[in-house]
Amino acid sequence: MILFQSMSTVAVCSVIAVGGLISFGTGKQPFVAAWSLLKSIVVSRKYLFFFVAVLAIMILNKNELKLENWLNVPYDLTSTITGWEGTWPTWLQTTFQSNLLTALCAFFYLVMFQSAMIASVGIYTHHQKMKLYYAFCVAILINYFVAVPFYLFVPVNEVWSVHPQVKFLMLDVFPSFEREYRSLSGLDNCFPSLHTSISVTVALIASKSGIRRWAVFTWINAAIIIFSIFYLGIHWFTDMIAGVALALFAASVGIKVGAWADRTSFGAARAKAKLEASSPVGSQSSGR
């Protein structure tokens, strides 16, 4: 079952998913949240600073493979870090493999992972939960700042490339994955699992939002993504454990820094007042 023909298909699905998630988390049309975001960028220098910082780290991550190729690290730590795990990934695929499950896991891995990140920004901005917006941005920055050096200097290969019995199931639904997506995710960029750390980070911060349905969804999303990284033949259990630890650290620091940033004056009070006055929906929220 071919689900994705190209990265363009992934992008289109992601745009639709982001819109749906924002509507789910705000109870409003996604354009209302987009309007709040644009207003915040224009009115608040602090909001813009955090927004640009996250974009910058995304660009850094996108170019990580170029730096990795330049460094040309000669060693492979796959067996050193994951050698204790045995062949359980083979059992997992043999036991659960089905076309429908493969499509579901690939969809969450490729689409819902990034869509939940983007939707979080729109949801917290719309509800004027600036403390959580700052916390989320800081937590994402920490995730990438910690993970990228590991990807550069602690190379751990994906499970399917090590175990001949494990199939890279992503190719069943996205045949051109290696050509179109691999430049964003190196074969030896396993430890820690960013899909785990970021999805759990999103859920941890959502749990502080008071938006119950969003918190419940993000935990379900994180659980499916964690299962998917194993089922698709990509990550090791060790990668997941490291990812959860990174998420706990990033979210904890992010929440503390977010609270501090919310209290710190960058013209924040004046910016918030201007934003609320200019918003077409006022400052009411309907997240539950």
Q: Any idea what the CATH number is for the domain that residue 72 is in?
A: 1.20.144
Whole domain around residue 177: which residue ranges?
52-266
Q: Is residue 238 part of a domain?
A: yes
Query: Does the pLDDT of residue 286 top 90, yes or no?
Result: no
What's the domain count of the chain?
1
Query: Does the pLDDT of residue 277 top 60, yes or no?
Result: no
Residue 288: Cβ-neighbour burial (10 angstroms; 0-12, 13-18, 19+): exposed
Residue 28 CA, chain-centre distance (Å), reads: 23
Q: Which residues contact residue 121 at a Cβ distance below 8 angstroms, ignoring those fewer than 6 apart?
A: 37, 51, 133, 136, 137
Q: Is residue 43 part of a domain?
A: no
Phi and psi for 175 in degrees, rounded to 5? -60, -30
CA quadruple 27, 33, 35, 40: dihedral sign: positive
Average pLDDT over residues 34-48: 91
Report d(CA 144, CA 152) in Å as an integer. Answer: 12
Q: Residue 138 carries which side chain, given as an amino acid letter? A: V
Q: Is residue 250 part of a domain?
A: yes
- Token pair for 139: 């937590």
Lowest model confidence (mean pLDDT) among 50-59, 93-102, 243-252 = 50-59
What pLDDT band is residue 275 in, cutting at 50, 70 and 90? low
Q: Which residue has the tokens 């660009």?
A: 59
Residue 1: Cβ-neighbour burial (10 angstroms; 0-12, 13-18, 19+): exposed
Q: Is residue 262 part of a domain?
A: yes
pLDDT digits (tens, 9 = 90+) for 148-202: 999 999 999 999 999 999 999 999 999 999 999 888 888 999 999 999 999 999 9
For residue 215, give the nearest of 127, 149, 105 by alpha carbon: 127
Report d(CA 112, CA 107) in Å as an integer. Answer: 7
The pTM of the whole model exceeds 0.85: yes
Collect contacts of 172-175 with beta carbons under 8 A, ≥24 apart: 172/1, 172/2, 172/99, 172/102, 173/1, 173/2, 173/3, 173/4, 173/102, 173/103, 173/106, 174/2, 174/3, 174/4, 174/10, 174/106, 174/110, 175/2
Query: Does the pLDDT of residue 77 top 70, yes or no?
Result: yes
Q: Is residue 8 part of a domain?
A: no
Average pLDDT over residues 45-63: 88
What pLDDT band is residue 33 in, cutting at 50, 70 and 90? confident
Q: Is residue 26 part of a domain?
A: no
How many helices (H) and strands (E) in the chain?
Answer: 15, 0
Q: Is residue 82 part of a domain?
A: yes
Q: Which residues contact residue 278 at a Cβ distance below 8 angstroms, ignoring those fewer than 6 apart?
A: 39, 43
Q: Which residues contact residue 52 at a Cβ distance below 8 angstroms, ignoring those fewer than 6 apart?
A: none
Q: Is residue 235 part of a domain?
A: yes
